[in-house]
Amino acid sequence: MSTELPARPVAASSASPARPLAMGAARALLLLVGLFTTAGATYFTIFASPEQGGVTQPVDWFLGGWAMTMGIGLLFAVARLGQSASLRAVRLTAALVGAHIVFSVIKLIGYGESEVVTVLAVDFVILGLLAASRHP
């Protein structure tokens, strides 16, 4: 009869309760940003008049298409991260959020839209939550 304690599984001991919470918060924010981006791109690209800020030039069409693609991509990322929060899925989502940050900086500098600062802050929070969801 052995007096040694059985070894504790490493995976179970390294799982922090904060990891699922961080991923859940990241997914919730991704959903909000994805919906906001898709709705804004749809409105300003398809429905808004030029006086309302609608597209008028080829660069505006490009940015509208970029925004629509990112918004839909963020919504797909929410679903993908719900199925599997693999390192690959997290990295792809982080890259998409990075593209959204670049887009927001273009809007801030090129179009003078200061309200995009809030979206930038949310993007950085999402990146932090994604990082926290991957590290013990």
10 in a structural domain: no
9 in a structural domain: no
Percent of the chain with pLDDT over 70: 86
5 in a structural domain: no
C-alpha to C-alpha distance for 30 and 24, rounded to whole angstroms = 10
Q: Mean of the per-residue pLDDT values for the chain?
A: 89
Q: pLDDT band for position 5 (50/70/90)?
A: low
125 in a structural domain: yes
3 in a structural domain: no
75 in a structural domain: yes
Contact predicate 35/71, CB 8 Å: yes
C-alpha to C-alpha distance for 134 and 57, rounded to whole angstroms = 42
27 in a structural domain: yes
Query: Which pTM was predicted?
Result: 0.83
Q: Give me the domain span that covers residue 76.
A: 18-134
Contact predicate 55/61, CB 8 Å: yes
Q: Assess whether pLDDT exceeds 90 at residue 2.
A: no
70 in a structural domain: yes
Q: Please compute the mean of the pLDDT values over residues 73-102 and round it to a whole number.
A: 94
CA distances from 48 to 36, 45, 51, 87 (A): 16, 7, 8, 39
pLDDT in tens, 38-74: 999 999 999 999 999 899 999 999 999 999 999 999 9
Give the pLDDT confidence score for residue 98 in this predicted structure.
97
Give the pLDDT confidence score for residue 7 in this predicted structure.
56
Spatial neighbors of 27 by CB under 8 A, at least 6 apart, are 78, 81, 82
Number of separate domains in the chain:
1
